[in-house]
Amino acid sequence: MKIYIVIPAHNEAEFIGLTLQSLVDQTYAPEKIVVVNDQSNDATPNIVSGFSAKYPFISLVSITSTEAHLPGSKVIKAFKEGLKTLDDDYDILCKFDADLIFPENYLQIIVNNFKDFPEVGMVGGFCTIQNNGAWVLENLTNKDHIRGALKAYRKACFKDINGLKAAMGWDTADELQAQFYGWGIKTDESLLVKHLKPTGATYNKASKYKQGEAFYKLRYGFTITLIASAKLAYRKKDFSLFQDYITGYFRAKRENQPFLLSKREGEFARSLRWRKMFKKIF
């Protein structure tokens, strides 16, 4: 199976070399890697150019966009620019972050999962972060969710969901849409990836309402948003976030912001969320 990888990167000079080296060292080699340099003002493009000179399957694309590091929109816009440079001759498409170190068998096991489970449309491992010298799970989401940092899509699934949405919540919308179209989502607990920069470390203050806006755009409705907001604030150990999320939800509703899911997809998403909650309770 041919693997194409797109890596958006903004000021990742500290980490991008480690990420690329871990992908170069894979036991199952990717066919193509595109790094999208999104207006970096550090050595990111120079480091990537050094790798592309040595490894022909690695290429660099440079784009200009806003400096604001808002969750969702910036990274997916960069991803789309990288995707434009690739042909359609792939079996698996990956969107990876530029601050990860992958175990050397990561891609091999991803391929194995896609081969062994033809009904699965998305596969991923888990992010770990360093805590007191040990690498521990970055426990911000349920174990049936693939983090946005390390998404891998079967081509047919990626086509069914019509690509990725350039907005906060894209990495939940893709899974909900995939399931709506009958695809399975598979996480592999044997695949532990080192996440060198914790999620949200570089987000600016304008991003604090984005999670609540995402809940609105995913058509969760107020009750599910209330539960999801409380759960996420608890996991982040910052209950002030709960108010931010709810404020963001109502702001998006007041502004009539566009949804990420169709009406039918939204009905499916709410039903799926309720089923999962009831399953945990009972």
Q: State the number of CA atoms in the 13 A half-sphere of 247 facing the CB.
A: 9
Domain end: 195, 213, 229, which one? Answer: 195
Q: Note whether residue 58 is domain-resident.
A: yes
| Same-domain status, 43 and 130 | yes
Low-confidence ranges of the chain (pLDDT < 50): 202-204
Residue 208 dihedral angles phi and psi, to the nearest 5°: -65, -20
pLDDT tens per residue, range 235-258? 888 889 999 999 999 999 999 999
The pLDDT value given to residue 278: 87
- Give the pLDDT of residue 133: 85
The total number of structural domains that make up the chain: 2
114 falls within a domain: yes
Cβ atoms of 129 and 45 closer than 8 Å: no
CA 174/CA 148 separation, integer angstroms: 10
Nearest to 57 by CA among 4, 103, 112: 4
Same domain? 140 vs 72: yes
Distance in angstroms (rounded) separating the CA atoms of residues 43 and 135: 27
Same domain, 126 and 214: no
Pair 226, 157 in one domain: no
Residue 106 structural domain: 3-195
The encoded tokens of residue 20 equal 């690329």
Q: Identify each DSSP E strand in the chain by its residue range.
A: 3-9, 32-38, 58-63, 92-96, 100-101, 120-131, 134-137, 150-154, 184-195
Instruction: Kindly state whether residues 172 and 252 are assigned to the same domain.
Output: no
Residue 200: inside a domain: no
83 φ, ψ (degrees, to nearest 5): -60, -35
Domain end: 162, 195, 228, which one? 195
Domain co-membership, 161 together with 240: no
Q: Are residues 117 and 11 in the same domain?
A: yes
| Boundary (domain end) residue, out of 168, 195, 222 | 195
Q: Please say whether the beta carbons of 190 and 109 come within 8 A.
A: yes
Residues 120 and 257 in one domain: no
Q: Do 54 and 159 fall within a single domain?
A: yes
Write the DSSP string, 214-262: HHHHTT-HHHHHHHHHHHHHHHTT-THHHHHHHHHHHHHHHTTPPPSS-
- Statement to judge: residues 15 and 80 lie in one domain: yes
Based on the domain organization, do 226 and 160 belong to the same domain? no
User: What pTM value is reported for the model?
Assistant: 0.91
CATH of the domain at 130: 3.90.550.10
